[in-house]
């Protein structure tokens, strides 16, 4: 298996190497893949991204199909053989640009490099059998097994689909499944301390990046085409931040003003922290609290690139922030750790790494962080809670638990503070839940309290 020591020679080989990294090391594809693609032509890089991300996106359906045609159980294969077969099955099930025989031949070539002598024969036989039966796969009956059917047809975790059906019913759950498989836009937040959106649009155009205004969030831009934005001179000059549109809604809900002191208890990687600093005109103080040193460095790097002086990095546990004797803040943001199930269209690995019991584990941490934040707020202070998930255990149940234990905090109305285009299909009258299928945004939850005066 000498191929492991040499640079990948094709998009398929790069995708294979990245998939094995994701499986063995728990890496995220968007971080693991670029290193394997770096020496390939542009068209091969694009194909590599499509193959690797598509395989991760449809992993459960691919493994189901693999088990249908394999005489051996999936776990008996090495990671290299397992992911090599997954890549081939992804192409047979979801791509039609390359003929089936070419898919099989390429997989067999890789099998010779990454497996023992029998692997090439196994790969050839299994993929050829599946190629002949693609149109006759025994999909579950959607009337008898609706969650299993949607799970396989749209490649989502069955446990999560079952919860969505109970919540929304079959038709809307299918819309949710489809939306979670759509590629989201790359959006950027102009640094208004340095440049205005019209000027940034023009500057990026000279750098080969086409942008348009977001139809959802005033002032945000979407990348239409061109190089990835982190490679642009404008990014290095600190003229913008790459940030999801749902995430960009959070900081403005605190109505930050110049001179404010704000604590961000879970600040890394820094998108909301830097947004807060920009909104106070870099006049005041934003305490960027982070538990892990390596993650705090991400915040420091972002604030340095953007030229922000108001951010004060603080290596600390947000759950014990009261021991740090910070100056009394006017507001605290708790952008809490969560299951991340609202961003699976961006990071599809998440949906295969989470299970139902994770919801309660996260809930305990979230409630503890909110209680800690409440302890340092003065009368009239604001407490903002956000998570990139939509599950009740991490959203409504957290709000109910906190409000029950903190009667001196009043839940504020939020929907009316959103852009008008988003004030539809909202479930709550106070907090906000955003959905991929309803709002064309990442799944997100936001709640705001004010401490009684």
Q: pLDDT value at position 3? A: 53
Collapsed DSSP state (helix, strand, coil) of residue 93: helix
Strands 285-290 and 240-242: unpaired
Place of tokens 């249908």: 68
End-of-domain residue from the set 220, 242, 264: 242
Name the domain count of the chain. 4
In a domain, 111, yes or no: yes
- CATH number, domain with residue 56: 1.10.940.10
What pLDDT sits at residue 426? 83
pLDDT, mean over the chain: 95
Closest CA to 15 of 126, 133, 103: 103
Q: Is 388 a known active-site residue?
A: yes
Task: Give the per-residue pLDDT at 273.
Answer: 98
pLDDT of residue 337: 97
pLDDT digits (tens, 9 = 90+) for 38-95: 889 989 999 999 999 999 999 999 999 999 999 888 889 999 999 999 999 999 999 9
The residue count for the chain = 453
Measured CA distances, 417 to 236, 243, 338, 413, 439 (Å): 32, 20, 24, 8, 16
Whether residues 209 and 286 share a domain: the answer is no
Options 338, 355, 388, 416, the catalytic residue? 388
The answer to whether the beta carbons of residues 341 and 354 sit under 8 Å apart is yes
Same domain, 264 and 362: yes
- pLDDT value at residue 117: 77
Question: Are residues 194 and 268 both part of a single domain?
Answer: no
Q: Could you say which residues of the chain have pLDDT below 50?
A: 1-2
Domain hosting 71: range is 2-136
At residue 406, the pLDDT reads 97
- Would 441 be classed as within a structural domain? yes
d(CA 166, CA 151): 14
216 and 261 share one domain: no
Cα 140 to the chain's mean position, in Å?
29
- Could you tell me the pTM of the whole model? 0.94
- Domain CATH number, residue 211: 3.30.70.1170
| Statement to judge: residues 389 and 272 lie in one domain | yes
CA dist., res. 288 & res. 296, Å (int): 8
The DSSP annotation for 309-369 comes to -SEEEEES-GGGGGGG-PPPPSEEEEE-----GGGTTT-THHHHH--THHHHHHHHHHHHH
The pLDDT, as a whole number, for residue 52 is 96
Residues 219, 276, single domain; the answer is no
Please tell me the predicted confidence (pLDDT) of residue 4: 65
- Strands 311-315 and 285-290, by their bridges, are parallel
The separation between CA 249 and the C-alpha centre of its own chain, rounded to angstroms, equals 16
Do 159 and 236 have their domain in common? no
Peptide bond into 269 cis (omega under 30): yes
Element (H, E) at 452: none
Q: How far apart, in whole angstroms, are the C-alpha atoms of residue 395 and residue 446?
A: 8
Burial of 388: CB neighbours in 10 Å, binned 0-12, 13-18, 19+? buried
**Could you tell me if residue 217 is inside a domain?**
yes
- pLDDT score of 346: 94
Nearest to 273 by CA among 218, 322, 214, 335: 335
Domain assignment of residue 141, yes or no: no
CA distance 92 to 66: 11
How far apart are alpha carbons 408 and 366 in whole angstroms? 19
CA distances from 290 to 35, 177, 315, 359, 371 (A): 28, 34, 5, 22, 17
219 located within any domain = yes
pLDDT of the residue at 71: 87
The verdict on residue 292 lying in a domain is: yes
**What CA–CA distance (Å, rounded) separates 33 from 38?**
9
Express each pLDDT in 360-407 by its tens digit. Answer: 999 999 999 999 999 999 999 999 999 999 999 999 999 999 999 999
Residues 404 and 265 in one domain: yes
pLDDT of the residue at 322: 93
CB atoms within 10 A of CB 309: 11
Are residue 230 and residue 163 in the same domain, yes or no?
Answer: no
Instruction: Say yes or no: 235 and 313 in one domain.
Output: no
Residues 255 and 403 both lie in one domain:
yes
**Residues 53 and 160 both lie in one domain:** no
pLDDT at 357: 96
Burial class (CB in 10 A: 0-12, 13-18, 19+), 30: middle
Q: pLDDT tens across 83-111, in order?
A: 999 999 999 999 988 899 999 999 999 99
Residue 410 within a domain: yes
């Amino acid at each position: 298996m000498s191929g492991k020591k040499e640079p990948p020679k094709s998009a398929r080989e790069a995708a294979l190497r990245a998939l094995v990294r994701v499986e063995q090391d728990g890496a995220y594809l968007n971080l693991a893949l670029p290193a394997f693609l770096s020496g390939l032509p542009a068209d091969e890089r694009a194909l590599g991204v499509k193959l690797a991300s598509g395989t991760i996106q449809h992993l459960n359906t691919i493994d189901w199909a693999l088990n249908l045609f394999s005489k051996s159980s999936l776990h008996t294969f090495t990671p290299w053989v397992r992911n090599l077969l997954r890549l081939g099955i992804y192409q047979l099930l979801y791509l039609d640009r390359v003929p089936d025989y070419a898919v099989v031949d390429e997989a067999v070539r890789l099998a010779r490099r990454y497996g023992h002598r029998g692997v090439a024969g196994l790969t050839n036989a299994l993929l050829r059998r599946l190629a002949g039966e693609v149109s006759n796969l025994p999909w579950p009956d959607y009337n008898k097994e609706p969650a299993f059917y949607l799970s396989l047809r749209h490649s989502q975790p069955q446990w999560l689909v079952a919860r969505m059906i109970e919540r929304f019913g079959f038709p809307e759950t299918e819309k949710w499944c489809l939306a979670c498989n759509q590629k989201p836009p790359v959006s950027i937040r102009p640094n208004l301390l340095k440049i205005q959106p019209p000027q940034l649009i023009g500057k990026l155009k000279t750098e080969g990046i086409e942008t348009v205004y977001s139809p959802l969030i005033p002032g945000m831009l979407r990348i239409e085409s061109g190089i990835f934005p982190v490679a642009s001179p404008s990014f290095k000059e600190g003229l913008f931040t790459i940030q999801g549109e749902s995430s960009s809604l959070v900081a403005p809900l605190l109505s930050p003003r110049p001179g404010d002191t704000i604590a961000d208890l879970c600040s890394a990687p820094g998108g909301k922290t830097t947004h807060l600093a920009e909104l106070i005109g870099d006049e005041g103080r934003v305490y960027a609290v982070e538990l892990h040193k390596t993650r705090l460095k991400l915040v420091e790097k972002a604030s340095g690139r953007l030229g922000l002086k108001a951010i004060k990095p603080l290596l600390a546990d947000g759950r014990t922030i009261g021991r740090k004797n910070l100056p009394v803040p006017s507001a605290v943001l708790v952008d809490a750790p969560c299951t991340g199930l609202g961003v699976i269209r961006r990071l599809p690995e998440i949906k295969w790494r989470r299970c139902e019991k994770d919801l309660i584990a996260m809930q305990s941490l979230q409630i503890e962080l909110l209680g800690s934040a409440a302890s340092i707020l003065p009368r009239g202070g604001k407490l903002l809670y956000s998570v990139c998930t939509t599950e009740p255990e991490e959203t409504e149940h957290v709000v109910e638990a906190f409000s029950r234990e903190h009667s001196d905090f009043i839940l504020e109305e939020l929907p009316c503070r959103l852009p008008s285009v988003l004030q539809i299909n909202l479930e709550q009258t106070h907090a906000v839940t955003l959905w991929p299928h309803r709002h064309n945004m990442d799944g997100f939850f936001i709640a705001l309290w004010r401490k009684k005066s």
